[in-house]
Amino acid sequence: MSSVVCKFLHTRMRVSDLDETVEFYQNVFGLEVTKRHESPRGSKLVFLSVPNSDEEIELTYFPGSGPVVVQEDLMHLAFEVESMSVFQTHVESLGLSLSDGPTSSSSGSTFAFVDAPDGYEIEIIERPKN
């Protein structure tokens, strides 16, 4: 059977403050805005490109939905970094901190977490060098 799905395109996350969240992803992860627009129902949308990936992150702000409440440990995004120590130094230079880790795994990877605005959790992974 051939695949029904052709390609994974994006992940959508609703946020309380669109500008703050876009700035966070740009400053912390170096993501770039590829598109901004407003939907017919009034949602403000921003798409962010992820380096070395075709997938994007869609951030959505819809005032009529009320504040965003993210359930702890419900979902997370994960990004690979070349060096956890370089990433940690970068995050701290922005006045932020890791919310958990760094921790070494049995596979040889090192992982940590940083919290985005609204409490979305983002995993950072440094894979072992071969």
- Residues labelled catalytic: 123
Give the list of residues 6+ apart from residue 89 with CB closer than 8 angstroms, or none: none
Instruction: Give, in order, the Cα–Cα distances in Å from 4 to each of 11, 55, 112.
Output: 19, 18, 35
> Three-state SS across 24-75?
HHHHHHCCEEEEEEECCCCCEEEEEECCCCCCEEEEEECHHHCCCCCCCCCC
* Residue located via tokens 């130094």: 89
Going by the DSSP 8-state scheme, the letter that residue 95 receives in this structure is T
Amino acid, single-letter form, for residue 65? S
